[in-house]
Homo-oligomer: A and B are copies of this chain.
């Protein structure tokens, strides 16, 4: 498939959470249909707003085949899709972004090596396949360090901090035998991220970098513009372009960076739309969700120029108790995800606060 998708064409989206929801809404604006595939209930955030939805397991061959047959191209809202699912779907339809991006980002060790091989700076890291690797790994990374499972971690899950060597074995045990890596501590000044996009034609466009604040491993706010020197900003965009090209990427990619006195260090990459790019919905003519749909649909990338400065705040768990006040705030756009139940740590929505014209 190389022609741009025509009006009425269907984009299959693997995963039915809030990212799928906002992708489906962006597809709708462009006259495209969205078909959500998710093992969870069909009334989830994305299915509520999509043209169609399939509720089936990741290994349900018949459901996967019917899904693939009903769409023109397939994308995803999260990276931990089982390999067998990708094999089956990929035989029938193009999956964008492609397999290489998933292979790299599904495994923290593979990702770190990929970044290092590109000449990009990462935290010091070392693989830990079992307790016997622990001392050697910590010698490599130094202490304090963070142990992380190689696969299936998100929002701080699957991680354990090692503040001193005495607790290292307990920390490793808490990962319950999963293959892991140790990452050395990075003394950073701030965390920023770049939301980049690459089109089918190889064109690249990056949104302006945002500055992120995490709490308990979960993104709390993203502020645009990030406090970066011109040189740092240029570095951030160039290294994002380098990653996009190396992966022969199609779609939107999130790159999380640590800003240190010695330069930018890549923390991690996410082969999808990214929470730290939600500000683009109210800061740019074309937001990250529409940019991703454009790329996946084989359209030319849109114009991601920023017209406004924005601070995005995630609404997590009982932040929803503040809804009455948030509804009344001036210069604030509220985005809610249609989740029926509020739970601690659960992302329920976000607000984009306009702080002024693009400065």
Which chain A residues have a beta carbon within 8 Å of chain B's beta carbons? 4, 7-8, 21, 24-25, 28-33, 48-51, 282, 285-286, 290, 294, 299-300, 302-303, 305, 307-308, 320, 323-324, 327-328, 330-340, 348-349, 352, 354, 357-358
Contact = CB atoms under 8 A, between A and B. Distances in A.
A348 B49 CA distance: 21
Contacts of A330: 303
Contacts of A8: 338, 340
Contact of A49 (B49, B336, B339): B49
A338 B31 contact: yes
A80 to B, nearest CB: 26
A7 B336 contact: yes
Given A8-B338, A33-B338, A354 B28 contact: no
- Provide the main secondary structure of the chain A interface: mixed
A303 B285 contact: no
A340 B327 CA distance: 36
3 tightest Cβ-Cβ pairs between the two chains A and B: A31-B336, A28-B49, A300-B328
A303 B30 CA distance: 25
Contact of A324 (B4, B324, B336, B339): B4
What is the copy number of this chain in the assembly? 2
Given A25-B29, A349-B31, A285 B282 contact: yes
A302 B326 CA distance: 11
Given A7-B320, A25-B28, A338-B7, A327 B303 contact: no
A336 B4 contact: no
B299 A327 contact: yes
A244 B314 CA distance: 35
Contacts of A51: 48-49
A308 B119 CA distance: 40
B354 A331 contact: no
B7 A354 contact: no
Nearest to A52: B48
A354 B25 contact: no
A164 to B, nearest CB: 45
B28 A285 contact: no
Contacts of A300: 327-328
Contacts of A48: 28, 33, 51
A357 B354 CA distance: 14
A117 B332 CA distance: 38
Contacts of A290: 333
Contacts of A285: 282, 308, 331-333, 352, 354
Contacts of A357: 307, 357-358
A311 B50 CA distance: 29
Given A327-B300, A333-B286, A333-B302, A338 B307 contact: no
Nearest to A331: B303
Interface centre among A28, A340, A354 (most CB of B within 10 A): A28
